[in-house]
Amino acid sequence: MTYQDFLHTAGLGLATGLALIVAIGAQNAFVLRQGIRGEHIIPIVAVCALSDAVLIAAGVLGIGALVTAAPTAVVVLRFVGAAFLVTYGAMAAKRALTPQSLSADAAPVPGEPKRGAITLVTTMLALTWLNPHVYLDIALIGSLASAQGASLQWWFGAGAMAASVLWFCSLGFGARFLRGFFARPLSWRILDGTIAVTMVALGLGLILGR
């Protein structure tokens, strides 16, 4: 094996990780909203990155194969996750109907109570671990990693983990550049309305098995 082989495999893992994670979904929508609010970004980003690292490591270790071999567990998780997504979507829809804006000093949204780090981290964990699609990603990453061979599979996994860190840091800390735009109540209504539609659509998709 050469140094180029290691870099190539890590780069492949990075590209695969970004392809799987850069999409409109419950987890990304939540991180984006909290990033705009400037509320407990560090623990939220840390939870996302660490959760993905654990899941990717599980995939490389071959645990993803066990998940796909237990269809009943996946079905149960699918309905639990669907219920959570629909509930969160309803909450976002309620916020979309309430005028709100972001003050110039990046304080929390007026009229909306500031939530503690524990509450936000718990919500983030639920959005991550109750999503059955993430376990399908584990199986995919595991199969792609194993295809690299025993000497390179962890380089592939490291690349995928780096993609997670890169994406969530960019999303969480980069969202602050949108604060000026979200100083207007209409902007928040559009964001929360989009989140509501996304969450409910994902939840219904899980219920319908799509």
Higher pLDDT, 13 or 100: 13
The answer to whether the CB of 203 falls within 8 A of the CB of 82 is: yes
What pLDDT does residue 41 have?
A: 93
Q: Across all residues in the chain, what is the average pLDDT?
A: 80
At residue 147, φ and ψ (nearest 5 deg) are -70, -20
Phi/psi class of residue 209: alpha, beta or left (left: φ > 0; alpha: ψ in -120 to 50)? left
Reading the block at residue 186, the tokens are 């209409």
3 state SS of 62: coil
What tens digit of pLDDT does each residue of 108-166 get? Answer: 444 455 668 899 999 999 988 988 778 877 877 877 887 787 788 899 999 999 999 99
0.75 surpassed by pTM: no
What tens digit of pLDDT does each residue of 53-65 get? Answer: 999 998 888 765 6
Nearest alpha-carbon partner for 78 in 62, 67, 90: 67
Task: Rank 40-44, 98-102, 182-186, 205-209 by mean pLDDT and report only the highest.
Answer: 40-44
* pLDDT higher than 80, residue 170: yes
The answer to whether the CB of 101 falls within 8 A of the CB of 183 is: yes
What pLDDT does residue 186 have?
A: 81
Phi/psi class of residue 75: alpha, beta or left (left: φ > 0; alpha: ψ in -120 to 50)? alpha
